[in-house]
Structure 1
Amino acid sequence: MWSCGPLNGTGRGEDQPLCQHSQLVLSAFSLLYLAVGVPVGLGYNALLVLANLQDQGSMTMPDVYFVNMAVAGLVLSALAPAHLLGPSASGWALWGFSSEAHVTLLVLFNVCSLVTMYSTALLSLDYYIERALPRTYMSSVYNSRHVCGFVWGGALLTSFSSLLFYICSHVAARIVECAKMQHPEAADAIMVFIGYLVPGLAVLYALVLISRIRKEDTPLDQDSGRLDPSVHRLLVATVCTQFGLWTPHYLTLLGHTSLALRGGAVAGQHLGTLLFAKDLSRCLAFSSSAVTPLLYRCLNRSFPGKLRRLVKKMPCGRQSCSADQAGVQQVLA
């Protein structure tokens, strides 16, 4: 992923020092994420899921979507070492993998990205419904759980284009129609449109509606059944974080698709910049799996209480439980 090999045949010797510096920056950033971000993402996402599932009666609509994003974050954290240390194009890869494994990892990455973006968009829309019509129960926990199931199913169906690309790469010699499906640019274009533009427009529309409602001071604001006011801060922080960390990845996909449609090869002076942007955007996308649960921990007032109840229900002896409670107290602090 950080090899300068693609520049060797371009005749751009002056780009080699820049490429070497970029390689060092990406290597340091990726190793830092693998050493810190992956354990944090796995730990906090697991705590977020367990703390909410053990006390499902106290879950609210936002909790359901954050549990959904936490499950996707667990998968992303598990995929990070394989993506960041094992690509076949990497100059310092610790291992390599076959084309089957590469396609599997790509499909799982795309599924997690779709689940994360659509969970964020649906959270924004349901928050607006809850603010506007608090007693209709349209944005209830029951409905949100079924919506999250449809999100995972839709993400799997959308990522099916990558599987078609892999299948056609093997049977193209026997099926002429598959020759038109061997280009990954089509899959990238689908991911940009469905995975970024559609949820982005939904979030923008929801935020505009939410801002209009917040300007109106109505008696419903005193309703005890409404969501906690801290949910608004959590929503804004989550939207900004997710779209801020995932936008570079989708922009690189859009740029790759645009270059492919133009039919021109990438010039040597721009190849290093494109590779650097692609790899850096992938690292930023993976880091979202660690940042989102931290935001949930800092901005959700009910999470510390759920975590304490989770510790109390753990079946363990007195000594181990006291040690676990001490560790949890440090986490809560």
Structure 2
Amino acid sequence: MWSCMVYNETDDNVDLRLCQDFGLILSVFSLVYLIVCFPVGLCYNALLVVVNLSNKVTMTMPDVYFVNIAIAGLVLNLVAPVELLGPSFTRWPMWEYNNEIYITLLILFNISSLVIMYSTTLLSLDYYIERALPRTYMSSVYNTKHVCGFIWGGAVLTSFSSLLFYVCNHVSTKIIECSKMQNKEAADAIMMFIGYVVPAVAVLYAFVLILRIRKESTPLDQDSGRLDPSIHRLLLASVCMQFLLWTPYYMTLLVHTVGGAPGSYSNRQHLTTYFFLRCLSVLLAFCSSFAIPLMYRQMNKNFSHKLQRLLKRLHCGDQSCPHERSTVQQVVT
């Protein structure tokens, strides 16, 4: 029963009940996520990717970042069922995953988290550029491939050092190189720095610049080349939502880095509370793959039009639809 195995019948019944209550709460939250949030998030993430990639002509740079976030959300959707049905979350473990499965899930989770945080950071910085200089590259997608390659390649490369610590922490000590690197605290510290501290500083810097621009109204504010105001609200809301959902997870990494391994805690009640908060923070991180596509669907006015064009195109089949011909003519002119 998740972490309640450390208790026995001679222990204080209050601590045992607290542990069981924590396990029950996690089980309920996990089932709610799997029944409600998981299918909705999977559907809307896939829909966001398909609709935008099928309308590449009308994509803007914010759409590119949201597509990357949606792809990372799909990866999290694949990791979530295995993680939430594992022994850490449920009082009735459906399976005991071994080290290889754990490392694979950890690699996918870390890379997805980095892609989400980097996309969010670049989104806020580009939002400042678009506010300061309208009709810039943020309004086009000519560098889409470079942006996507930078985000995913950067996430893989920057997470390699921390992942090496995680891998060496779970392989045989017969490997001399890895026997010197069995330090999970170092891995968590690296992930905390590259996955949260650096993006948080960049986002705060972008917000300071954006507030400074808003205080200094210029004739450029009336430029028709600017993004729709609803997109501005979407960008700010998405950045705030991402940090709100991911901050608890990185705070648990900070606690693990500063306080050492959980097994070194003398008080088992503190150990149980730590594991509960750690699992709850992971669950909140999974919720980011559910909240962001819903926000994008509700706040982006162009998404419904793109979806309608895609449905009409599927309805027409191989024949060219009248609305497609008119759209192509407008783009050519």
TM-score normalised over the length of structure 2: 0.88
Whether the 8 Å CA contact 2:169–2:183 is kept in 1: the answer is no
Counterpart residue number, 1:207: 207
**2:226 matches 1:226:** yes
User: What pairs with 1:21-32 in structure 2 (closer than 5 Å)?
Assistant: 21-32=21-32
How far 1:89 moved relative to its partner?
8.2
Structure-2 change in CA distance of 1:272 and 1:165 (3 Å): closer
**Equivalent-residue separation in structure 1 for 2:204 and 2:108 (angstroms):** 27
Match in the other structure for 1:331: none
* Amino acid corresponding to residue 45 of structure 1 in structure 2: N
Q: Where do residues 4-15 of structure 1 align in structure 2 (5 Å cutoff)? A: 4-8=4-8, 11-15=11-15
Cα distance change on mapping 1:310 and 1:262 into 2, 3 Å: closer
The whole-number CA distance in structure 1 between the counterparts of 2:281 and 2:226 is 38
Rounded Cα–Cα distance in structure 1 between residues aligned with 2:24 and 2:90: 13
1:306 aligns with 2:333: no
Shift of 1:138: 6.5
User: How far did residue 185 of structure 1 move?
Assistant: 1.2
Aligned to 1:100: 100
- Number of the residue aligned with 1:154: 154
Q: Name 1:267's counterpart in structure 2.
A: 267
CA separation of 1:35/1:138 partners in 2, compared to 1, >3 Å: closer, same or farther? Answer: closer
Q: Deviations over 1:110-166 (max 9, x none)?
A: 000011011001000001011111244367422354123111112112332324542
CA distance in 1, matches of 2:9, 2:255: 23
> How big is the shift at 1:212?
1.3
Give yes or no for contact 1:49–1:71 (8 Å, CA) kept in 2: yes
- The answer for the alignment partner of 2:288 in structure 1 is 288
Q: C-alpha displacement at 1:184, in angstroms?
A: 1.3
Kindly report the root-mean-square deviation, in angstroms, between the aligned alpha carbons of the 2 structures.
2.3
2:167 is equivalent to residue 166 of structure 1:
yes
Whole-angstrom CA distance in 2 between matches of 1:163 and 1:89: 26
Over 3 Å counting, the alpha-carbon distance change for 1:192 and 1:43 in structure 2 is same
Aligned-pair identity (%): 62
Q: Is the 8 A contact 1:7 1:271 kept in 2?
A: no
Q: Which residue of 1 aligns with 2:323?
A: none
Say if 1:10 and 1:268, in contact at 8 Å, map to a contact too: no
In 2: Cα distance, 1:142 partner to 1:215 partner: 31
One-letter code aligned to 1:272: T
Name the counterpart of 2:47.
47
Q: Distance in 2 between matches of 1:276 and 1:174?
A: 33
Gaps of 5+ in 1: 318-333
Shift of 1:2: 3.8
In 1, Cα distance between the equivalents of 2:258 and 2:188? 10
199-208 or 217-226: bigger deviation? 217-226
Of 180-189 and 278-287, the range deviating more from structure 2 = 180-189
Amino acid in structure 1 at the alignment position of 2:189 = A
Q: Which stretch has the larger CA shift, 152-161 or 249-258?
A: 152-161
Q: Which segment is superposed worse, 47-56 or 179-188? A: 179-188
Distance 1:262 1:286, change over 3 A: closer
Partner Cα distance (1:158, 1:266) in 2: 34
- Preserved contact between residue 75 and residue 112 of structure 2 (Cα < 8 Å): yes
Specify the code of the residue in structure 2 equivalent to 1:162: L
Unaligned runs of at least 5 residues, structure 2? 318-333
1: distance between equivalents of 2:38 and 2:109? 15
Paired position in structure 2 for 1:323: none
Q: Cα distance 1:19–1:49, how it changes in 2: closer, same or farther (>3 A)?
A: same
Counterpart Cα distance in 2 of 1:111 and 1:262 = 24
Structure 1 counterpart SS, 2:94: coil
Cα drift, residue 231 of structure 1: 1.6
8 Å CA contact retained: 2:88, 2:279: no
Distance in structure 2 (CA, Å) of the matches to 1:266 and 1:10: 17
Secondary structure at 1:141 match in 2: coil
**Could you tell me whether the CA contact under 8 Å between 2:168 and 2:179 is conserved in 1?**
no
TM-score (norm 1): 0.88
Size of the aligned set, in residue pairs, is 316
Going from structure 1 to structure 2, the CA distance change for 1:8 and 1:180 (only over 3 Å counts) comes to farther
Q: How far apart, CA to CA, are the structure 2 residues paired with 1:164 and 1:276?
A: 24
